[in-house]
Amino acid sequence: MSTPLAAPPRLIYQKPALLTSQPTHYCPGCGHGIIHRLLAEVLEDLGVAGRTILVGSVGCSVFAYDYLALDAVESPHGRAAAVATGVKRVRPDHVVFTYQGDGDLAAIGTAEIVHAAARGERITVIFVNNGIYGMTGGQMAPTTLVGQATTSSPRGRDAVTTGYPLPVTEMLSLLPGVAYAARGSVADPGAVGRTKALIRRAFDVQIEGTGFAIVEILSTCPVGWGMTPVEAMERLANEVVRTYPPGVFVDRGRGVTPAMPAPAVAARPAAAERATPAERPVTEG
């Protein structure tokens, strides 16, 4: 007696088409692979991949354009937010996003990210923060935690000589031009799912055209941290999030307002509107 044929397999998940077949060069346990996949899924869900331009940066993710099937431009180190400004200003109907690490955005790129945010550029910034300079061999980053050993802080980061980790997303959330600022992590499947929603919202905000959107994603660097992939994820979940708490800091469209309101406009009027000399009061004597 033959058994009845099993029902044909039902496809419930597949690699997003936007992810190329190129094997990535990322280390085992690196968060970039997860984040690339989330981006591919979000852009496909939104149906905007055909009009999306990736503005790359310098760091481990410099080859992101080999893994995501998007038009892309390389930026000099730190300049992605300025490059993206140029792209978006001349192609305002396109979806433009940067993909930057913590050295690129929070060290050499600090001026460019602050001013792009201050101008309210309608771009989306994906800020991957793993607290270390992975590509160049594991040096200290502005987001490295106090006490953390790196190749350029071999005795552990000392706050007295090197200061404290920079909370860039919190700082940017003060600016009126920022329409969305949030932080997530890839520490566990739940966190990954919540981060995907943050990324989705950050692109929605760009499409709505209400201002600058940034998602900081806490990630791992097992090789730089000197840990196994599992240990690195545990460090992310238990230690890193205490300095960099996940959450939504600004979402203007949904009433999550920043600490600093936009200033009231009381600018000096343009020349044509200023009183002519004949109208100014004439004083005697």
Binding site for another protein (CB under 8 A): 49-53, 55, 62, 65, 69-76, 79, 82-87, 89-91, 94, 111-112, 114-115, 119
How far apart are CB 53 and another protein at their closest, in Å?
A: 5
**Taking the CB of residue 60, how many other CB atoms lie within 10 A of it?**
23
Q: Which is nearer to another protein, 69 or 126 (CB)?
A: 69
Element (H, E) at 216: strand 212-218
What would the two tokens of residue 217 be?
A: 């994603």
Q: Which is nearer to another protein, 117 or 241 (CB)?
A: 117
Q: Which is nearer to another protein, 47 or 263 (CB)?
A: 47
How far apart are CB 207 and another protein at their closest, in Å?
A: 14
How far apart are CB 31 and another protein at their closest, in Å?
A: 22
Residues in the chain, overall count: 285
How far apart are CB 165 and another protein at their closest, in Å?
A: 24
> 232 with 223: CB under 8 angstroms?
no
How far apart are CB 138 and another protein at their closest, in Å?
A: 19
How far apart are CB 111 and another protein at their closest, in Å?
A: 6
**206 vs 180: CA distance, rounded Å:** 9
What would the two tokens of residue 84 be?
A: 């993206």
How far apart are CB 106 and another protein at their closest, in Å?
A: 16
Q: Which is nearer to another protein, 184 or 211 (CB)?
A: 211
* DSSP-derived secondary structure for 190-216: HHHHHHHHHHHHHHHHHHHT-SEEEEE
Distance spanning both ends of the chain, measured CA to CA = 121
- Block residue for tokens 């979402």: 251
Q: Which is nearer to another protein, 114 or 174 (CB)?
A: 114
Interstrand relation of 247-251 and 178-185 (parallel, antiparallel or unpaired)? antiparallel
Q: Which is nearer to another protein, 134 or 184 (CB)?
A: 134
Report which of 222, 228, 203 is spatially closest to residue 213, judged by C-alpha positions: 203
Q: Which is nearer to another protein, 10 or 268 (CB)?
A: 268
> 253 with 164: CB under 8 angstroms?
no
Angle at 110 between CA 164 and CA 62, to 5 degrees: 105
**243 vs 279: CA distance, rounded Å:** 60
